Structure 1
Amino acid sequence: MSKQNLRAGLVGLGAMGRNHARVLASLDGVELVGVMDPAGDATGAARGAQVVATLPELLALGLDYAVVACPTVLHEEAGLALAEAGVCALIEKPLAHTAAAARRLVDAFDRAGLVAGVGHIERFNPALQSLRSRLEAGELGEMYQVVTRRQGPFPQRIADVGVIKDLATHDIDLTSWMAGCPYASVSARAVSKSGRRHEDMVAVVGELADGTMVSHLVNWLSPLKERFTAVTGERGCFVADTLTADLTFHANGAFATEWEALSAFRGAAEGDMVRFAIPKREPLLVEHERFRDAVEGKANDIVTLVQGLRTVEVAEVVLDSARRKTSLPLQSPHARNLAALTQRS
């Protein structure tokens, strides 16, 4: 007997929603049965799936899981409705517009015993997947610093959150994920130059719990589009370009430096540079494959709601730091969980 496909739905047909529809429509083991968007589908992005105007209509189609790709401020409402209906969900990043809303989503899906994840697509970029594997294998030795730059032209489609919660959450998530360590403190400065109430440029410096230094430069104000991640450590520096999915390694010098002025900087001399040949599959497709497997109960590597919550919490501290123009600590996950248990008892 042939295996029955999972029945998937999609909430939102904006720029990201149209990409989700494209992948869902051709994903092995999945049938895209319905798409919900009050504005309809003038471009045919639903790929033949039924288009409805409300979430109850989408749920009436009988879903195994749904992808939430509506504006961030609507993530909580859509996610809670899916959890109540017993439908698994992949919710676009950031998980929610506030940490309090993100916590409510975590609690709702946890109580319902449903699979749920967050669409932090950068984790599935081939360059970062390879980089993390190499870090775990100890190829860099001790990690010293993670530097990211994420900048590009102003996106007219984003209006409900600023650059910190929209773009910087990519870097917050991938940094903690690659290092396997949470943030301990951040110091940020932000400005708004586009005439909107939300910030559109931010600079962040901080420290992870293990002492690794971090630096993030993020903006919507540059004609140059850049997606850069550099991890410097004991044996050299990895550089990932997630626009091209290229990963290179700049090794420390392997030979003694005769130049006296440089010899004082042991390990900082230039060595070999290697650009790795890595399989380059579309990150969104890999993300969907992992989530499909999770819904089917198979081994998987999805971004959990708890991880998504932690990213929103860090983003809120970054915002607070920028407003107050000071360095701020982050409460550790252990301390936060202990506080929650104390409040419930």
Structure 2
Amino acid sequence: MSAKNLRAGLIGLGAMGRNHARVLAGLDGVDLVGVADPMGDQHGVAQGAPVVPTVEELIALGLDYAVVVCPTALHEEVGLKLAEAGVCALIEKPLAHTAEAARNLVEAFDARGLVAGVGHIERYNPALQSLRTRLEHGDLGEVYQVVTRRQGPFPHRIADVGVVKDLATHDIDLTGWVTGRTYESIAAHTVSKSGRPHEDMVAAVGMLTGGVMANHLVNWLSPLKERSTVVTGDKGCFVADTLTADLTFYANGAINTEWEALRAFRGVSEGDMIRYAIPKREPLLVEHERFRDAVEGKESDIVTLSQGLRTVEVAEATLRSASTGETIRLSQAAEAVR
């Protein structure tokens, strides 16, 4: 170990925690000095670091920061202990199981001036990072709509939240991030087909600032795994596949056609298609690098707790809409949990 390296701890060795352990163990400038999991290291992934049963024992090892990868329902309790001990934290998404719990975490870390972030990993997907840069440069002109599809088989590791707070929070966060907009309202329908207490499918329509429409279709009932984000604007549309990290641009055509049946259509026409060659680094590694840099006091693009709170608020508004059949305005939703 290096005396100059940051001392990091990991909380939780479930499926995602094991990925974090792998990345932390090889992260430049960081030493993984301990892991907390009451079940121990069942898969032998602690990379030689001591494994303790409680958060308190992990904190006692002396930490600069901790990565929280325990069940969502425990995020508030664990996060508050870290904040009280003066330990910075990277907390897996969603930030917390309720907006009230998320707000408590924001206040606790802010009050102590501690660096804290949320693990919304899609922000570090190469396709979405490239897409965001191109939107900022005006490659699409005015943005009209964002459509996301996220589906796949049921993840048995998830037991404490439904598909809205587990999967749809990815799409809520990335939609606001790539467009630079915030949600003004949301309307949604959910169903539960797997016999579990939580919803496992959602269809939602949101309105963002500036009149941008968002559509989200999310489920974990499909054998087909799909992660698609389509952004349409007045110059064409971008299609980002975050499974393969591919980004494709479909331009509006500028060539007149002599085909009478097509000429009668007064909308856009098909133009060039460009598939971009972009560097493809592992998103989880990039996420850890950015958070390490933030803890070291460097300028770094991390997902703040306030941004994570906003995503939980939109997720709760989505569930409230599905329950009441009403369109929920986000200002109302935020006030309802204060």
In 2, are the aligned partners of 1:34 and 1:50 still within 8 Å (CA)?
yes
C-alpha separation between the residues in 1 aligned to 2:256 and 2:18? 55
Calculate percent identity across the aligned residue pairs. Answer: 76
Q: Which deviates the most, 289-298 or 41-50?
A: 41-50
C-alpha separation between the residues in 2 aligned to 1:332 and 1:230? 28
**Equivalent residue number for residue 232 of structure 1:** 232
1:285-331 per-position Cα deviation (integer Å, ceiling 9, x unaligned): 00000000000000100000000000000000000000112211111
What amino acid is aligned across from residue 63 of structure 2 in structure 1? L
**Equivalent residue number for residue 186 of structure 1:** 186
In 2, are the aligned partners of 1:235 and 1:267 still within 8 Å (CA)?
no
- The verdict on how the C-alpha distance between 1:3 and 1:131 changes in structure 2, with shifts beyond 3 A counting, is farther
1:242 matched to 2:238: no
1:52-98 per-position Cα deviation (integer Å, ceiling 9, x unaligned): 00011100100000000000000000000000000000000000000
In the TM superposition, structure 1's runs of 4+ consecutive aligned residues that sit over 6 Å from their partners are none
- The verdict on how the C-alpha distance between 1:264 and 1:106 changes in structure 2, with shifts beyond 3 A counting, is farther
1:205-254 per-position Cα deviation (integer Å, ceiling 9, x unaligned): 11101100110000010000000000000100100000000000011112
**Equivalent residue number for residue 297 of structure 2:** 297
Q: CA deviation at 1:265?
A: 4.3
**Equivalent residue number for residue 47 of structure 1:** 47
Q: CA deviation at 1:42?
A: 1.8
C-alpha separation between the residues in 2 aligned to 1:303 and 1:192? 30
**Equivalent residue number for residue 152 of structure 1:** 152
C-alpha separation between the residues in 1 aligned to 2:251 and 2:264? 18
What amino acid is aligned across from residue 309 of structure 1 in structure 2? L
Q: CA deviation at 1:171?
A: 0.2
**Equivalent residue number for residue 119 of structure 1:** 119
SS class of match (1:76)? helix
Q: CA deviation at 1:264?
A: 4.9
C-alpha separation between the residues in 2 aligned to 1:251 and 1:184? 29
Q: How does 1:89-238 map to 2 (within 5 A)?
A: 89-238=89-238
SS class of match (1:33)? strand
TM-score by length of 2: 0.97
SS class of match (1:189)? strand
C-alpha separation between the residues in 2 aligned to 1:266 and 1:114? 55
1:268-297 per-position Cα deviation (integer Å, ceiling 9, x unaligned): 211111100000000000000000000000
TM-score by length of 1: 0.95
What amino acid is aligned across from residue 243 of structure 1 in structure 2? L
What amino acid is aligned across from residue 59 of structure 1 in structure 2? I
SS class of match (2:210)? coil
In structure 2, runs of 5+ residues without a counterpart are: none
C-alpha separation between the residues in 2 aligned to 1:99 and 1:291? 23
**Equivalent residue number for residue 270 of structure 2:** 270
**Equivalent residue number for residue 81 of structure 2:** 81
Q: How does 1:276-295 map to 2 (within 5 A)?
A: 276-295=276-295
C-alpha separation between the residues in 1 aligned to 2:156 and 2:5? 36
In 2, are the aligned partners of 1:257 and 1:269 still within 8 Å (CA)?
no
Q: Which deviates the most, 252-261 or 276-285?
A: 252-261
C-alpha separation between the residues in 2 aligned to 1:190 and 1:51? 40
**Equivalent residue number for residue 318 of structure 1:** 318
C-alpha separation between the residues in 1 aligned to 2:248 and 2:7? 40
C-alpha separation between the residues in 2 aligned to 1:332 and 1:229? 28
**Equivalent residue number for residue 12 of structure 2:** 12
C-alpha separation between the residues in 2 aligned to 1:259 and 1:78? 65
- The verdict on how the C-alpha distance between 1:3 and 1:136 changes in structure 2, with shifts beyond 3 A counting, is farther
What amino acid is aligned across from residue 318 of structure 2 in structure 1? V
C-alpha separation between the residues in 2 aligned to 1:219 and 1:94? 17
Residues matched between the structures, number: 336
C-alpha separation between the residues in 1 aligned to 2:173 and 2:97? 16
In 2, are the aligned partners of 1:92 and 1:118 still within 8 Å (CA)?
yes
